[in-house]
Amino acid sequence: MSVSLTRWLPGLLLTAALPLLAHAEGPQYGPELQGFDYPYTLKHFAFQSQGQSLQMGYMDVAAHGKANGRTVVLMHGKNFCGATWDSSIQALSEAGYRVVAPDQIGFCTSSKPDHYQYTFQQLAANTQQLLKALGIQKATLLGHSTGGMLATRYALQYPDQVEQLALVNPIGLEDWKALGVPYRSVDQWYQRELKVTAQGIRDYERSTYYDGRWKPEFDRWVDMLAGLSNGPGKTQVAWNSALIYDMIFTQPVYYEFKDLKMPTLLLIGTSDTTAIGKDIAPPEVKAKIGHYEVLGKQVAKLIPQSTLVEFPGLGHAPQMEEPAQFHQALLGWLNKTNPVR
């Protein structure tokens, strides 16, 4: 009996401690973000892509104000989800817009396939299938961060279906590999993504996104991302994340900004210093990339029908950092460039 107690007691003590450890490390969510609450009803769009049955999570929110008959499609960033658009969905809906906020394949509430060739063209085609199924023929696109690269590709791919294009601190305003940032293989990205922690996400976002500042409301989004990355689908999430980072680094849209045909708004928080691969770039390269106070002005000159709105002192996500200021600028431009139907 004494041997049996000696054998089992440590196990019992460890089991009892596990819930406390899990709580200390934050919540864990399923591979499609199961367990995380979205601000509006989450729906799912099932479709075939690359020989696979996949599904995209999305929110489709009707106009709560006087409906103007127009739709805004929101495209999230790499470290964000459709849910992080919550304040923008509310502001746009109250202003009379129908708002559709999908989670792209590989992200958040959508499928994480074992094998998938990620291209911005493919993600654009997936989104176009969703909008077609919803009966949306024309829309305004609002893309943030990596979603800005996707929105740009979508606008180039389906120009007749895009009335207006708005880009919020989009990445891809420069071509990092052409500027000397070293290539990181998918396997290297994968090993990096397996080590994601809530504290690491918070430290990165505080220093890169928000110029050293932090607001308590950002913690929910850190928990969302860390909970997805460290949940039961950890390896699935990390592998898809690695493939997506490779897509971002190797598929620049920078050279095609000049080909955009629709009115385009650049909404730029000038304190943002985001640049993919900056952490492994040589010092001389690191010093010259990710300067949004410069990049916004440069790219505004490349886009034929562009308007630049800068938010001095704000960071990578002005729509989350100062929602009222951001939405006033966005809605003012949307109304001013309202296409004639």
The answer as to whether 20 is a domain residue is: no
The model carries a pTM of 0.92
If you search the block for the tokens 């790499």, which residue do you land on?
78
The answer as to whether 295 is a domain residue is: yes
The answer as to whether 266 is a domain residue is: yes
Residue 115 and residue 127 in contact, taking contact as beta carbons nearer than 8 Å: no
Helical axes 323-336 vs 86-94, angle rounded to 10°: 40
The answer as to whether 141 is a domain residue is: yes
Q: For all residues of the chain together, what is the average pLDDT?
A: 92
For 161-218, what is each residue's pLDDT tens digit? 999 999 999 999 999 999 999 999 999 999 999 999 999 999 999 999 999 999 999 9
State the average pLDDT over residues 322-339.
Answer: 94
Quick check: 255 pLDDT over 90?
yes
How many domains, in total, are found in the chain? 1
- CATH assignment at residue 231: 3.40.50.1820
Q: Which two tokens stand for residue 178?
A: 């052409």
Neighbours of 240 (CB within 10 A): 24
For 263-297, what is each residue's pLDDT tens digit? 999 999 999 999 999 999 999 999 999 999 999 99
pLDDT of residue 21: 37
Residue 159 and residue 187 in contact, taking contact as beta carbons nearer than 8 Å: no
Dihedral sign (CA 10, 13, 15, 21): negative
The answer as to whether 177 is a domain residue is: yes
The answer as to whether 167 is a domain residue is: yes
Quick check: 4 pLDDT over 70?
no
The answer as to whether 265 is a domain residue is: yes
* Euclidean distance between CA atoms 184 and 268, whole angstroms: 27
State the residue range of the domain holding 194: 35-336
* Euclidean distance between CA atoms 234 and 191, whole angstroms: 12
If you search the block for the tokens 């009966």, which residue do you land on?
135
The answer as to whether 19 is a domain residue is: no
